[in-house]
Chains A and B, each alone.
Chain A
Amino acid sequence: MQKQAIFQSKLLPYALVAPQLAIVLIFFYWPAAQAVIQSFLLQDAFGLSTSFVWFENYLELFKEPAYFAAIIRTFAFSFAIAVSSLSFALLLAVMADKPLRGSTLYRTLLIWPYAVAPPVVGVLWVFMLHPSLGVLSRYLRAMGVDWNPLLDGDQAAALIILAAAWKQISYNFLFFLAGLQSIPKSVIEAAAIDGARPMRRFWTVIFPLLSPTIFFLLVINIVYAFFDTFGIIDTMTRGGPGKATETLVYKVYTDGLLGGNLGSSAAQSVILMVIVVVLTGIQFRFVERKVTY
């Protein structure tokens, strides 16, 4: 698609795109290219000489059990965060979609966590479930749970997943509500006339019609769990105890901080880029499909 009415000018358009192009080239392409190049190089221990090693950095990474574990962990976290946040948000959205008194108030009271920054989410949750002073920990202990996320890796992971899912509820809720409101009332009425009870109506009519929204949100939530959980992890557990909450992004960060192997950390960055490209690709394919519906 192109505009028919346009301006004629040789230099002006270049001047107009120049600022964005400059920033994109300096801060996106240059560093991305550096990461790709570096991932094929191996530096000696003193940083004096580098040699081209093809895919050795990548092979080394995949041979490293810790990296493999981080991949599995990241996907497991993403899945757990997406499923728990999506199902809770869907329940709330279905309720808020009913013709209730005060439904705008409900919406306002449910969407604000979107604006809370990940590190703040981490601080709030770490305080609430702190082993020695957390208010909820008291009840957990009273119920006989030996609660100590500072020592127990599984509990730390659960804590991260809960906090991350909590933040994402508002976002999912908004999109589910919009999706539900775009379902024609006549379809639901038709099902009601056919004698379908509310539960049956939900599973046989509403849920299938909502599946594009669900799929879209699933991808968004996975991307969120991959990248935006950094702040939550960093304030809550710092990847620990041990490496129980170290995700791929967190590993890139800590490996880089230690400043050890440049080639390996570049290779990790490149793998992350590939994952983002794949996820974005899936999302676009989906958007296209939605357009042709």
Chain B
Amino acid sequence: MVEEEGFQRYLAHAILWIGIAIVAFPVYLAIVASTQDNAVIANGQMSLLPGGHFLETYYQTLFVGTSGSTREPVLNMMLNSLVMALLIAVGKIAISIISAYAIVYFRFPFRMAIFWIIFITLMLPVEVRIYPTYKIVADLHLLDSYAGLSLPLIASATATLLFRQFFMTVPDELLEASRIDGAGPFRFFWDTLLPLSRTNMAALFVILFILGWNQYLWPLLITTRDDMQTIQVGIRKMITTTDALTEWPVVMATALLAMLPPVFVVVVMQKLFVRGLVETEK
């Protein structure tokens, strides 16, 4: 065994706790600020302990919104974010798993060409093609719609690659066995392959849900109506007004509500999250 003297061990604990404190401090501050009076915060007199405005701030945030011009309840924004995140996650998994199935379990002309066409999209994040994509979505009359929010983000080379890799490891005997039982391609997919892929799908879902929920640039561009805003876009609009008018407790409450679902997913489904993260990075 390698020796770990007592001092070394205490030092490790101390460094880890300092690290945790640094990582957690901005969020602690947000929690505290969301329970205090805006006037006190705006004066720069904010206390580092929680105040007594918890209920009223969160009630206003969720059901009313800021008092400014873009008055939109945050609950509605969260709903938009949820729909978008679910559409992206489920949509990506669905279209990737069937195309990976076709590429692995069938031989057909242009099979490899199609694989490469999908594969190359790995290199084209939305950020590098925003305006041309915007124009296409506008031409298709998909601005301010859930389809417009999710479709351009749905195609995922990573998910297709992941399923392809996984299908390659599935023993051939399984297919032969189910063929003897008289199963066609649909039955085999549904009864054999899909149940086997469950863990992969769950891990992927966790990652894709987080990525979908946290989308920012794309929703920012294509939503113009306040009631189609996602929470990430909504929070930026809350601090656009001149500083004096920013309602910091509401902004901080919104920030916390925006991070609640994905952080919850990471903490509660940690195993799946870590697995998904490691696998999607090839």
Instruction: Please report A residues at the B interface, Cβ cutoff 8 Å.
Output: 1, 3-7, 9-10, 12-14, 16-17, 19-21, 23-32, 34-35, 38, 88, 91-92, 95-96, 98-100, 106-120, 123-128, 132-135, 137-138, 166, 169-171, 174-175, 178, 185, 188-189, 192, 198, 216, 220, 227, 230-231, 234-235, 249, 252-253, 256, 265-266, 269, 272-273, 276-277, 280, 287
Contacts and interface: CB of A to CB of B under 8 A. Distances in A.
A26 to B, nearest CB: 7
Nearest to B19: A92
Contact of B135 (A5, A20, A34, A178): A34
A13 B108 CA distance: 7
A223 B236 CA distance: 23
A285 B151 CA distance: 31
B20 A106 contact: yes
B55 interface: no
A120 B232 contact: yes
A273 B248 contact: no
A54 B281 CA distance: 37
Contacts of A132: 44, 243
Nearest to A274: B128
A264 B12 CA distance: 52
B267 to A, nearest CB: 6
Contacts of B27: 124
Nearest to A196: B2
Nearest to B43: A133
Contacts of A256: 130-131
Given A23-B155, A124-B26, A231-B217, A135 B48 contact: yes
Interface string B230-250: 001101100100010000100
B123 A277 contact: yes
Contacts of B30: 124, 127
Contacts of A198: 8
Contact of A269 (B99, B129, B213): B129
Contacts of B266: 111-112, 114-115
Interface stretch (B57-65, B69-77, B110-118, B196-204): B110-118
A88 B16 CA distance: 11
B46 A120 contact: no
Nearest to A259: B131
Nearest to A177: B274
B263 interface: yes
A1 B111 contact: no
Nearest to B45: A133
Contacts of B48: 135
A140 to B, nearest CB: 12
B151 A27 contact: yes
Nearest to A216: B281
A287 B165 CA distance: 15
Interface in B157-173: 160, 167-168, 172
B105 A7 contact: yes
A13 B188 CA distance: 14
Q: Which 10 pairs from chain A and chain B are nearest by CB?
A: A31-B132, A115-B262, A117-B214, A16-B102, A13-B106, A5-B172, A13-B102, A34-B132, A231-B216, A124-B26
A91 B267 CA distance: 22
B4 interface: yes
B127 A249 contact: yes
Nearest to A290: B282
Given A24-B118, A276-B125, A220 B281 contact: yes
Contacts of A111: 266, 270, 273-274
Interface string B10-52: 0111011001101111110110010000000111101010000
Nearest to B24: A109
A20 B164 CA distance: 14
Given A20-B118, A21-B114, A24-B117, A178 B259 contact: no
Contact of B131 (A98, A99, A216, A265): A265
B236 A20 contact: no
